[in-house]
């Protein structure tokens, strides 16, 4: 009956009905928010805050109507397939023995999963290279690289007196000899497992089959080519003598080929770099994920009409492609998400590809970016500067998210808030808890949180949005004038947010104890908060207990723990108060925590300041600091917007001195946690209200555009 009534209603009637629905929903939300207003100052140990829907993100219970991706209700509808416009062939369930090795609980399967990168290295046909690879160990291992990432491939056969590597092993000797060579090249691998996987790839992988077919026909006047497009434009496919799988072909030596095609010689000492937009880039490097040789991202992928499935003019971006692949679907085996450390390497590799394409576009469009201030140009000429360098700087603009200019502008935005609204009232650091129930529930059998950086990123993103809603909409600290935050990644791999809050009614230091605590709570009155604080808010331990803690430098804790006992909160010298930390004689509590298998007693000198309400709601490390002085404001604004880790390195004199893109690529770190965040297009910085940047033109300060192709002088 309701459906018939809605079908019969006119457009104005429909708009009126929808407006009434929206008004009702907003009223419900506002009622919920009003209940929590100023709740941070009125924390109730007996209240069950986690039962409030506005304080939780709920289960992963939403299924996309188009691609069947599983999502949380607060996630963007188009984050998986852009509303049905991204339609990719599904990755088929793996055959045996790979399937059992990925999901089994036998000693053999556990050994395989713990060494899956090694086993993939046994079969990869290209080499993975980067400026520097970093494996962060400890509680949350993460895969991290510094600098540029590239894949390289050699010849089909090794040179005389050289041992075969990578692709060459597929064509040397029988199966037993190949397996022996693979285990020799990659230690800590078992030959029986290698033999099984080798047989699987020989039977199923189209590249292995195509290479072997092509090698039967190869001669000195031919080369093997892996085409960027499966059939070269304007040519008949039979002319290339391609096998049925049509993945590789033979061409005459000296014959023209595409700039992105992979050309392989029978024997050669040269190693060739593969274009990261070549369709085989992924399959050649990750044969245990793409065991059939499925295509990766390439330029010819196009979006489709969600209703008809017909291709459209707009192309699929690399970010959209890999975001689609990263989704968990009930109908899929999800081989990528089951691959543990290999999954982490893959997403770092693919994000490096995405970023490289963006940087290439910027480099090729420098003409619209390259300008010199007239005054600077004039000074360079007067002072006998190198005129050849004028206009030669390759710029990485502030529009590139995460770049140095981008983060510098965000710092200036923060200082603009300070200029207009004064010092911020609160400085909050919110860190992901990998043991959140929402993460644990979605793990596959046998997995741990550190195996699924995708879940940690998605859950933390939702939790962070909930936190910001509580602060800005529910007004738990009071009405907010402005706020800004930046997402970063610790070396241990966990995402965390630095948040600055400006309140309409400035807080006074005498109210600090009402909403910030640096003490262990009473275990009898508030056992839940006691448990959370002793797990999440204890610093270190460091010092004599753990002299190798990351916070230790020259035998001293850089965070100044353990702190001194204080009966009352006092004004500090560094812009932060000295919070009340009572000893057991003055009514403070102690706790025993488990540290590396030993029981350690801690007191209030080890507690990181926290807000009881937020700690209770989120069950996470949330450091809340009150800013009571302008002395530290500039430091705080810079700290919040400092960006991710960058390497310090020395550039030799030459063209790279003027190349900001090269400097950024060589100095950047990409971790698997950050790669997931960026591929899913989650923001790394947000602020409100928006700061508008104005162009200021002074006398002799106009900006002439410079061109690389223009002569240095004209007549």
Residue 251 within a domain: yes
Residues 332 and 449 grouped into a single domain: no
Cα–Cα distances in Å, from 556 out to 551, 561, 655? 8, 9, 43
Q: Phi and psi at residue 37, in whole multiples of 5°? A: -60, 130
Q: Do 423 and 440 form a contact (C-beta atoms < 8 A)?
A: no
Residue 589 within a domain: yes
Last residue of a domain, one of 332, 358, 384: 358
Residue given tokens 């009409």 in the structure block: 305
Report the C-alpha gap between 546 and 234 in whole angstroms.
68
Cα–Cα distances in Å, from 120 out to 24, 280, 540? 55, 16, 37
Residues 341 and 414 grouped into a single domain: no
Q: Do 58 and 72 form a contact (C-beta atoms < 8 A)?
A: yes
Report the C-alpha gap between 659 and 654 in whole angstroms.
10
Residues 282 and 165 grouped into a single domain: yes
Residues 224 and 151 grouped into a single domain: yes
Predicted local distance difference test score (pLDDT) of residue 377:
43
Residues 459 and 595 grouped into a single domain: yes
Residues paired with 669 in a beta bridge? 146
Report the C-alpha gap between 341 and 353 in whole angstroms.
19
Residue 106 within a domain: yes
- Residue 535 sits in which domain range? 404-688
- Burial letters for 38-49: b for 16+ Cβ neighbours within 10 Å, e otherwise? ebbeebeeeeeb
Report the C-alpha gap between 101 and 111 in whole angstroms.
9
- Nearest to 395, CA basis, from 656, 655, 654, 660: 660
Q: Phi and psi at residue 251, in whole multiples of 5°? A: -130, 160
Predicted local distance difference test score (pLDDT) of residue 252:
41
Residues 206 and 134 grouped into a single domain: yes
The secondary structure of 606-655 as a DSSP string is GBPPB-HHHHHHH-S-EEEEE---STTHHHHHHHHT--S-B----PPSSG
Report the C-alpha gap between 523 and 525 in whole angstroms.
6
Residues 476 and 337 grouped into a single domain: no
Q: Do 605 and 581 form a contact (C-beta atoms < 8 A)?
A: yes
Last residue of a domain, one of 326, 358, 390: 358
Q: Do 607 and 564 form a contact (C-beta atoms < 8 A)?
A: no
Give how far the C-alpha of residue 400 lies from the chain's centroid of Cα atoms, to the nearest Å. Answer: 16
Walk along the chain (715 residues) in steps of 10 and give the mean pLDDT of each run.
Answer: 69 82 67 80 90 88 94 93 94 95 94 95 84 55 67 79 85 88 93 95 90 69 65 36 42 50 68 83 92 91 92 94 95 94 92 87 73 47 48 73 82 87 91 95 94 95 96 94 88 82 89 94 95 93 83 87 91 77 93 85 94 96 85 65 53 55 74 92 91 75 53 46
CB atoms closer than 10 angstroms to residue 698: 9
Residues 532 and 596 grouped into a single domain: yes
Strand segments, DSSP code E, in 118-158 are: 127-136, 142-153
The secondary structure of 306-323 as a DSSP string is TTT--EEEEEPPHHHHHH
Residues 410 and 315 grouped into a single domain: no
CB atoms closer than 10 angstroms to residue 132: 12
Strand segments, DSSP code E, in 78-141 are: 127-136
Cα–Cα–Cα angle for 430, 434, 436, rounded to 5 degrees: 90
Residues 414 and 325 grouped into a single domain: no
- Nearest to 482, CA basis, from 410, 408, 407, 420: 420
DSSP 367: G
Predicted local distance difference test score (pLDDT) of residue 238:
32
**Cβ contacts of 174 within 8 Å, gap of 6 or more:** none
Predicted local distance difference test score (pLDDT) of residue 566:
93
Predicted local distance difference test score (pLDDT) of residue 435:
94
Residues paired with 487 in a beta bridge? 497
Residues 682 and 600 grouped into a single domain: yes
**Cβ contacts of 520 within 8 Å, gap of 6 or more:** 530, 533, 534, 588, 589, 590, 591, 602, 603, 604, 607
Locate all alpha helices (DSSP H) within 205-280, ordered by sequence.
206-215
Q: Copy the structure tokens of residue 188.
A: 């800590």
Residue 712 within a domain: no
Residue 24 within a domain: no
Q: Copy the structure tokens of residue 645.
A: 């880790």
Residue 51 within a domain: no
Report the C-alpha gap between 434 and 440 in whole angstroms.
8
Locate all alpha helices (DSSP H) within 426-560, ordered by sequence.
437-440, 453-472, 512-515, 527-536
Residues paired with 611 in a beta bridge? none
Last residue of a domain, one of 295, 327, 358: 358
Report the C-alpha gap between 387 and 382 in whole angstroms.
10
Is residue 119 classed as helix, strand or coil in its secondary structure? helix
pTM, full prediction: 0.86
Q: Do 170 and 211 form a contact (C-beta atoms < 8 A)?
A: yes
Q: Phi and psi at residue 382, in whole multiples of 5°? A: -65, -40
Predicted local distance difference test score (pLDDT) of residue 451:
93
Residue 378 within a domain: no
Report the C-alpha gap between 497 and 464 in whole angstroms.
8
Cα–Cα–Cα angle for 370, 373, 377, rounded to 5 degrees: 100
Report the C-alpha gap between 185 and 192 in whole angstroms.
15
Instruction: Give the pairing type, strands 262-264 and 248-252.
Output: unpaired
Residues paired with 578 in a beta bridge? 570
Length of the chain, in residues: 715
Residue 550 within a domain: yes
Residue given tokens 């008949």 in the structure block: 236
Locate all alpha helices (DSSP H) within 9-85, ordered by sequence.
11-35
Number of continuous H segments (helices) and E segments (strands) in the chain: 21, 20
CA dihedral 349, 351, 354, 357 (to 10 degrees): -60
Q: Do 154 and 163 form a contact (C-beta atoms < 8 A)?
A: no
CA atoms within 13 A on the CB side of 578: 16
Burial label, 103 (beta-carbon count in 10 A; 0-12, 13-18, 19+):
middle
Residues 275 and 203 grouped into a single domain: yes
CB atoms closer than 10 angstroms to residue 393: 17
What's the structural domain count of the chain?
Answer: 2
């Amino acid at each position: 009956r309701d459906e018939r009534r809605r079908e019969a209603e006119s457009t104005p009637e429909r708009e009126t009905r929808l407006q009434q629905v929206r008004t009702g929903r907003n009223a419900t939300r506002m009622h919920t928010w009003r209940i929590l207003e100023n709740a941070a100052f009125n924390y109730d140990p007996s209240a069950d805050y986690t039962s409030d829907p506005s304080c939780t993100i709920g289960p992963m219970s939403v299924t996309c109507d188009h691609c069947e991706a599983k999502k949380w209700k607060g996630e963007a509808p188009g984050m998986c397939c852009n509303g049905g416009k991204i339609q990719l062939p599904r990755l088929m369930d793996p055959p045996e023995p790979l399937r059992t090795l990925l999901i089994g609980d036998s000693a053999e399967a556990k050994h395989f999963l713990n060494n899956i990168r090694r086993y993939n290295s046994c079969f990869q046909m290209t080499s993975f290279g980067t400026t520097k690879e970093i494996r962060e160990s400890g509680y949350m291992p993460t895969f991290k690289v510094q600098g540029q990432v590239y894949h390289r491939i050699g010849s089909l056969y090794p040179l005389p007196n050289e041992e075969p590597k990578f692709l060459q092993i597929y064509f040397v000797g029988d199966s037993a000899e190949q397996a022996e060579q693979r285990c020799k090249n990659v230690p800590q691998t078992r030959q029986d497992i290698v033999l099984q996987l080798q047989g699987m790839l020989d039977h199923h992988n189209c590249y292995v089959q195509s290479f072997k077919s092509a090698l039967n026909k190869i001669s000195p006047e031919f080369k093997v080519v892996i085409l960027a497009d499966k059939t070269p434009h304007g040519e008949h496919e039979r002319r290339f003598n391609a096998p049925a799988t049509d993945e590789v072909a033979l061409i005459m030596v000296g014959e023209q080929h595409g700039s992105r095609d992979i050309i392989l010689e029978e024997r050669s000492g040269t190693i060739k770099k593969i274009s990261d937009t070549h369709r085989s880039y992924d399959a050649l490097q990750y044969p245990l994920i793409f065991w059939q040789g499925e295509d990766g991202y390439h330029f010819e992928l196009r979006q489709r009409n969600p209703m008809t499935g017909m291709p459209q003019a707009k192309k699929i971006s690399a970010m959209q492609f890999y975001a689609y692949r990263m989704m968990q679907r009930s109908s899929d085996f999800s081989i990528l998400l089951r691959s543990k450390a290999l999954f982490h390497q893959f997403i770092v590799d693919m994000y490096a590809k995405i970023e490289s394409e963006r940087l290439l576009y910027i480099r090729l469009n420098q003409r619209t970016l390259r300008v010199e201030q007239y005054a600077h140009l004039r000074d360079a000429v007067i002072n006998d500067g190198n005129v050849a360098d004028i206009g030669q700087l390759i710029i990485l603009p502030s529009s590139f998210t995460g770049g140095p200019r981008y983060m510098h502008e965000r710092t200036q935005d923060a200082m603009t808030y300070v200029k207009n609204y004064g010092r911020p009232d609160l400085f909050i650091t919110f860190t992901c808890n990998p043991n959140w129930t929402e993460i644990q529930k979605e793990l596959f059998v046998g997995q741990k949180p550190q195996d699924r950086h995708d879940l940690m990123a998605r859950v933390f993103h939702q939790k962070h949005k909930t936190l910001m809603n509580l602060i800005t909409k529910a007004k738990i600290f009071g009405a907010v004038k402005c706020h800004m935050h930046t997402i970063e990644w610790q070396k241990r791999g966990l995402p965390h947010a630095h948040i600055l809050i400006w309140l309409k009614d400035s807080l006074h230091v005498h109210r600090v104890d009402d909403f910030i605590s640096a003490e262990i709570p009473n275990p009898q009155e508030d056992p839940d908060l006691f448990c959370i604080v002793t797990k999440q808010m204890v610093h270190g331990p460091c010092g004599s207990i753990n002299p190798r803690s990351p916070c230790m430098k020259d035998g001293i804790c850089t965070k100044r723990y353990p702190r001194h006992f204080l009966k009352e909160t006092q004004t500090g010298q560094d812009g932060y108060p000295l919070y009340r930390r009572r000893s057991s004689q003055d009514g403070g509590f102690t706790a025993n925590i488990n540290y590396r298998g030993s029981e350690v007693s801690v007191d209030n000198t080890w507690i990181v300041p926290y807000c009881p309400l937020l700690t209770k709601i989120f069950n996470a490390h949330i450091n809340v600091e009150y800013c009571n002085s302008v002395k530290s404001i500039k430091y705080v604004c810079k700290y919040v917007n400092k960006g991710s880790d960058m390497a310090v390195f020395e550039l030799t004199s030459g063209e790279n001195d003027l190349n900001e893109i090269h400097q950024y690529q060589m100095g950047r770190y990409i971790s698997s946690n950050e790669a997931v965040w960026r591929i899913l297009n989650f923001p790394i910085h947000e602020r409100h209200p928006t700061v508008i940047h104005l162009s200021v033109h002074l006398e002799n300060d106009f900006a002439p555009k410079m061109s690389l192709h223009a002569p240095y002088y004209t007549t």
